[in-house]
Structure 1
């Protein structure tokens, strides 16, 4: 009786639907509506899984989550197109499910009566089972047609998911931008600004001592010169954190090779097509550069490996970066590895970051940045 497996469930569910409709119209039973819709979704989900087991192809489902207070859940249940899609299936399946069940019963009885009880066992394998299988095929095809979301509904859901993803990405980008501004402000305040204040004081003291104690003035000027050099170092450090000048001077490949040379690891850098044709946009280059810098820093500090590999590749619509080491693995980005910053910077450009770091290694970090060359 595979072809009509849910016909009894349909029969039992219809009185519940009638009760829910009446109770909802009476207002006092409106709270029953969301729970009834959830039960309807489970029944339809069971049918989807049954069709998938029979045909080998999944039947997609598309529902608006029933969350929030009672009023929101009721409005969501009433406004969700998936509710009406399931109701339509339930009503139609109540009709054709019983028809298919009766047809299957007739086929079985006919096979037993014509071939006899013992021959019927053989006949069922030769004749009856294919016919019942055909009825099951009809049941699956009709159920799929009724339960499967329309192309417009899937496009709308994909668009809604995309908007939600972009909203989250924008929030992360704003948070990352705010954190970066605070870091720059802190570096300037605690480093460069403090040294410039000390420099101003030394120059003032040297000017006062110039007439009465030239030697002391000379020493103060020597100290002031050291302060200037230290302030310049601090300022260069801040500038490199915003946009490394080496990217402008050498391009991405040259800048990554410089990173590799100064990482303390034996790093092999390979590139595929990156230096051919136009350069990537500055934001894409900076994101790739910082991803490599953070990955090599983590490898040098935590992996225990002495070697690493960096691969840069140009694809028709993206820039791909891969950093691999032969360390102990087990990297956990939740422990402040800096990969969260890489993810936020990459997500702001609609890129993807993937990390694989099983225990025992290797650790592989892959970044894909959309890029129109």
Structure 2
């Protein structure tokens, strides 16, 4: 079975790696056999060059897919994405470099400009020039088997060579792909700059939305109650001399309204920045939120993420400060709050479990509920917003939610200080 699997993989790697050389071999064959004008060789070579340009990116993608499937190594592509186009008041579309009358034309020009200036294109061209050498190695089992069929006197030797080389010939694909297909440092830096720019834009939009929410809550809640409180006090002042009993009743209503306003303001402050999170740290704040949740929620952890010092994981190996940066704590806390809220509102769960731990370099928060599942990180949705908020700190969000449940969400944030 290992020989058969290796033979199939070797043939797949050889086919992809030798695809562009096969195009040039076909063009050379046409040039040799096409007896026409002295320039008759030009057309096949021109078509071969055009096909090479068209095949560079598909060959790179196919090779990455084969390496990912065969060895589990994921190699990022590093291609630049075309920027957005904007419609101006004049009716023209601006793509960052030129104007166009239609959106489609502006997007087409933007795609071509991005493709021509993308360093990944030059990387792919170099890759299709050097990868045939790896393809020749991967083609050894198939070539040996073909020779065993053609040269009948050597069939036993050919089969033996194919069987011996099949489990190993395809393995040349991974080092070749890692060496020549991974993004260069300049490409990774440009990709990181684009990612940080998008994250900054997301943060700006999120902050503006949060400010509008706070203004709306203040205007519709506490502000309206305070205005009513002022009117009640003015009414009580007028009634104090003429009808003291009614004035006392109005004051009692005003006191109730003041208590309600204070409660709303506390809830609003808790929604912006929970005091317990500032005072006691992430774990105590998550435990308090879990206690207030309608779900039966259990919190498991061996860490001490507070402002105090204490043994790490219950061990007496040392005592050190384990308080996270407040922005990271806030992102994780509100992430837990959103996941629990979704479990109640959308998944109709009854139980949930929260586990807070760490691996080599990351703080890990895992949440699982027994709801009906079906959650996904859809663009523009709440989970996508949570993913973007964690990405600001180089964090990640992974959600596994098959239909029927359970739903598992895993948030990780790099934290070397733990």
TM-score (structure 1 length as normaliser): 0.71
Check conservation: 1:176, 1:344, Cα contact below 8 A.
no
Per-residue CA deviation, residues 298-354 of structure 1 (Å, 9 max, x unaligned), is: 333343443221111244543221111223222356599843443343233332111
Unmatched segments (≥5 aa) in structure 2: 1-10, 29-41, 83-106, 306-311, 313-320
1:325 aligned onto 2:369:
yes
Name the CA distance, whole Å, in 2 between partners of 1:12 and 1:206.
Answer: 98
1:289 equivalent in structure 2? 333
| Aligned-residue offset at 1:173 | 1.8
1:220 to 219, 229, 250: 250
Name the CA distance, whole Å, in 2 between partners of 1:332 and 1:79.
Answer: 32
1:251 equivalent in structure 2? 281
313-322 vs 64-73, which moves further? 64-73
Residue 361 of structure 1 aligns to a residue whose secondary structure is coil
Name the CA distance, whole Å, in 1 between partners of 2:255 and 2:67.
Answer: 77
1:121 to 142, 155, 171: 155
Name the CA distance, whole Å, in 1 between partners of 2:336 and 2:252.
Answer: 39
2:189 equivalent in structure 1? 159
1:278 aligned onto 2:322:
yes
Name the CA distance, whole Å, in 2 between partners of 1:288 and 1:66.
Answer: 30
Q: 1:83 to 1:268 in 2, by over 3 A?
A: closer
1:361 equivalent in structure 2? 405
| Aligned-residue offset at 1:227 | 1.5
Residue 293 of structure 2 aligns to a residue whose secondary structure is coil
Residue 320 of structure 1 aligns to a residue whose secondary structure is strand
Name the CA distance, whole Å, in 2 between partners of 1:65 and 1:308.
Answer: 41
Name the CA distance, whole Å, in 2 between partners of 1:122 and 1:10.
Answer: 33
Check conservation: 1:324, 1:363, Cα contact below 8 A.
yes
1:242 aligned onto 2:272:
yes
Unmatched segments (≥5 aa) in structure 1: 22-31
2:230 to 200, 203, 207: 200
| Aligned-residue offset at 1:296 | 2.3
Name the CA distance, whole Å, in 2 between partners of 1:171 and 1:353.
Answer: 19
Check conservation: 2:56, 2:128, Cα contact below 8 A.
no
Check conservation: 2:81, 2:114, Cα contact below 8 A.
no
2:53 equivalent in structure 1? 37
Name the larger-Rg structure. Answer: 1
| Aligned-residue offset at 1:171 | 2.2
Check conservation: 1:328, 1:362, Cα contact below 8 A.
yes
Check conservation: 1:196, 1:231, Cα contact below 8 A.
yes
1:209 aligned onto 2:239:
yes
Residue 149 of structure 1 aligns to a residue whose secondary structure is helix
Equivalent runs, 1:173-184 vs 2, <5 Å: 173-184=203-214
| Aligned-residue offset at 1:17 | 8.1
2:293 to 263, 279, 282: 263
2:125 equivalent in structure 1? 86
2:180 to 129, 149, 154: 149
Equivalent runs, 1:316-355 vs 2, <5 Å: 317-332=361-376, 338-355=382-399
Q: 1:344 to 1:93 in 2, by over 3 A?
A: closer
TM-score (structure 2 length as normaliser): 0.65
Which structure's residues are more often helix, by fraction?
A: 1
Residue 402 of structure 2 aligns to a residue whose secondary structure is coil
Name the CA distance, whole Å, in 1 between partners of 2:281 and 2:60.
Answer: 56
Name the CA distance, whole Å, in 2 between partners of 1:308 and 1:57.
Answer: 32
Per-residue CA deviation, residues 107-155 of structure 1 (Å, 9 max, x unaligned), is: 969x95xxxx5x343454467x699x79x97x9979x86995377x522
Name the CA distance, whole Å, in 1 between partners of 2:201 and 2:124.
Answer: 35
Name the CA distance, whole Å, in 2 between partners of 1:39 and 1:8.
Answer: 12
Q: 1:306 to 1:160 in 2, by over 3 A?
A: same
Per-residue CA deviation, residues 181-225 of structure 1 (Å, 9 max, x unaligned), is: 111010011111111111111111222222222222222222221
Residue 250 of structure 2 aligns to a residue whose secondary structure is helix
Per-residue CA deviation, residues 31-75 of structure 1 (Å, 9 max, x unaligned), is: x97x762245456777x589979x979896967569654586268
Which consecutive aligned stretches of 4+ in structure 1 deviate over 6 angstroms post-superposition? 1-4, 43-46, 49-53, 55-61, 91-94, 139-142, 144-147
Per-residue CA deviation, residues 220-254 of structure 1 (Å, 9 max, x unaligned), is: 22222112111101111110111011223333222
Q: 1:187 to 1:340 in 2, by over 3 A?
A: farther
